[in-house]
């Protein structure tokens, strides 16, 4: 199984980052003051520039974990189980030859950080491209610089980048990782897709090795060596990333450190010339020698006109800046009137209630139904005439239905007063024999209605009853005629369909 360092808690990393930045605050102002004391403003600027591109802070993180600087790179390579190798910047041909053996060094338990600043191909590890990556996207640029980029494409599950939001790279290149038999790679950060040149997009920026061997170490490769400089630790989450890299490199019983920058091995960070300058105490001015014989009861010297004016101006300036009136009012706050407080609360409640009622009234007015249209009232005589006309119309309709039914019973003869008296017609005799007494009474009523000369006045309900009676009698008569036709085998007169 691949081996990884244990998960590093973000709270502890933040605390260490604060200590790191506190040390940086303590070093830079002191070095600035010392430089200004020696050579003035030009020397101070040169000291700051030199400090920004050095690696004392990252080297301090490694040495404060118990590492001692090794005598040489050969000594570190000879004992991989307890050695850490850091190679940053441009490397000479001799160190490039040593770099070929770093994969074997890591497989035997050593830990390596390799961050080169030149185009180089190290067999079995990676190829470094020094072409500077740029971006025209303002979201990718850091502080408006096209070659200083925000890198947010991070592997969130790896202990080195877990919880980090972004790292900042400066004039970085990219990596081409080489697979090997005993080691594989996990990419931790990639180039954003808005960068140029196009071939760099999505390429690795930082990667860590994975090995299935139980005693294998870890190798970290980075395309930007400025990630670990004193100045770049201030930006983004670079400080947290550097702290986690130092923890991963020092995992296990590591004792020796080979820290190589631009091909030169460095001694302990404590021997840095910048830190040595800041460690020198500033010379104290000599104390004035007291008078050998003090003057007794000597009158104080009279102030000159210039000193008196200076004193008066100082008093006036201090009085103006002190703002005595406001300070006195702050110390004596005015008490709040309880009655006024109650009145303000009541007025506020009334205003809220008034606003609520206004909204309710507006809502009610919006859904109010329309007013009814004006209608002309009819007189009692007009209403009576309307009812009589309707009753007469119902009677005429019932009389027409009755006459039509009687004509059908008379075998479809021409309409006449004789055809309405269809009880004597022999064609209806079979139907009369099949009818019940109530049906005969209803048929008699229909014949009388058809034979009457004046249409009666009936209601709509009576008209419906007459229609139902005619429908039932017509159905009975047609069934009897159909049976008789089938029995006799001769055609009969066609029945008229119901309207």
CA 399/CA 236 separation, integer angstroms: 105
Label residue 29 by pLDDT band (50, 70, 90): very low
Q: What is the mean pLDDT of the chain?
A: 77
- CA-based nearest residue to 226, from 149, 112, 138: 149
- CA-based nearest residue to 475, from 448, 439, 438: 439
Rg of the chain on CA atoms, in Å: 56
Question: What's the confidence (pLDDT) of residue 375?
Answer: 72
- 478-487, pLDDT tens digit by residue? 888 787 777 7
Cβ partners under 8 Å of residue 218, min gap 6: 3, 5, 106, 111, 112, 208, 209, 248, 249, 251
The DSSP code sequence of 21-86 is HHHHHHHHHHHHHHHHHHH-HHHHHHHHHHHHT--HHHHHHHHTTT-EE-S-HHHHHH-GGGEEEE
- Percentage of residues in the chain having pLDDT higher than 90: 27
Label residue 113 by pLDDT band (50, 70, 90): very high
- 384-406, pLDDT tens digit by residue? 666 677 888 888 888 888 888 88
Question: What's the confidence (pLDDT) of residue 48?
Answer: 64
- CA-based nearest residue to 116, from 133, 129, 131: 129
CA 272/CA 266 separation, integer angstroms: 9
Least confident of 125-129, 411-415, 492-496: 492-496
Strands 204-210 and 256-261, sheet pairing: unpaired
Residue 121, φ and ψ in degrees, nearest 5: -125, 115
Chain centre to alpha carbon of residue 247? 34
Cβ partners under 8 Å of residue 314, min gap 6: none
Each domain of the chain, given as residue ranges in start order, spans 10-278, 381-488
- Kindly provide the b/e burial profile for residues 125-144, where b requires at least 16 CB atoms within 10 angstroms of the residue's own CB: bbbbbeeebbbeeeebbbee
Most confident of the ranges 17-26, 220-229, 438-447 = 220-229
CA 67/CA 19 separation, integer angstroms: 19
More confident residue, 6 or 378: 378
């Amino acid at each position: 199984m691949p081996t990884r360092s244990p998960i590093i808690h973000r709270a502890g990393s933040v605390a260490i980052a604060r200590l790191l930045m506190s040390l940086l605050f303590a070093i830079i102002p002191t070095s600035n003051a010392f430089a200004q004391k020696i050579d003035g403003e030009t020397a101070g600027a040169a000291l700051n520039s030199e400090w920004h591109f050095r690696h004392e802070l990252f080297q301090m993180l490694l040495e404060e974990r118990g590492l001692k600087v090794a005598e040489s790179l050969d000594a570190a390579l000879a004992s991989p189980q307890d050695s850490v190798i850091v190679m940053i910047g441009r490397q000479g041909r001799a160190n490039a030859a040593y770099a070929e053996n770093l994969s074997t060094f890591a497989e035997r338990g050593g830990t390596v950080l390799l961050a080169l600043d030149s185009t180089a191909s190290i067999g079995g590890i990676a190829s470094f491209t020094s072409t500077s990556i740029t971006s025209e996207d303002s979201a990718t640029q850091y502080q408006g610089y096209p070659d200083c980029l925000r890198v947010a494409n991070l592997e969130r599950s790896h202990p080195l980048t877990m919880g980090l939001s972004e790292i900042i790279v400066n004039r970085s290149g990219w990596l081409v990782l080489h697979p090997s038999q005993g080691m594989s790679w996990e990419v931790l950060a990639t180039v954003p897709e808005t960068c140029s040149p196009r071939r760099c997009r999505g390429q690795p920026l930082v990667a860590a090795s994975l090995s299935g061997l139980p005693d294998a170490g870890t190798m970290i490769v980075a395309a930007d060596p400025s990630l670990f400089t004193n100045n770049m630790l201030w930006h983004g989450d670079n400080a947290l990333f550097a702290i986690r890299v130092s923890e991963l490199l020092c995992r296990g019983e590591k004792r020796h450190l080979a820290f190589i920058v631009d091909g030169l091995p460095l001694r302990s960070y404590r021997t840095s010339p910048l830190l040595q300058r800041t460690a020198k105490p500033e010379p104290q001015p000599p104390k004035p020698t007291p008078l050998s014989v003090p003057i007794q009861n000597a009158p104080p010297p009279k102030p000159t006109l210039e000193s008196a004016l200076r004193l008066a101006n100082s008093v006036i300036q201090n009085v103006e800046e002190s703002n005595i009136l406001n300070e006195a009012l702050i110390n004596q706050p005015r008490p709040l009137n309880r009655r006024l407080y109650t009145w303000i609360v009541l007025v506020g409640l009334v205003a809220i209630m008034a606003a609520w009622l206004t909204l309710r009234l507006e809502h009610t007015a919006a859904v109010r139904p329309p007013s009814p249209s004006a209608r002309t009232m009819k007189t009692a005589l007009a209403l009576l005439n309307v009812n009589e006309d309707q009753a007469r119309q119902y009677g005429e309709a019932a009389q027409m239905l009755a006459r039509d039914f009687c004509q059908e019973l008379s075998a479809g003869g021409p309409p006449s007063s004789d055809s309405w008296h269809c009880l004597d017609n022999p064609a209806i005799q079979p139907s009369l024999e099949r009818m019940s007494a109530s049906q005969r009474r209803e048929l008699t009523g229909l014949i009388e209605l058809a034979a009457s000369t004046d249409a009666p006045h009936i209601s709509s309900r009576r008209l419906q009853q007459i229609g139902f009676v005619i429908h039932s009698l017509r159905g009975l008569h047609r069934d009897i005629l159909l049976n008789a036709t089938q029995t006799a085998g001769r055609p009969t007169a066609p029945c008229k369909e119901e309207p």
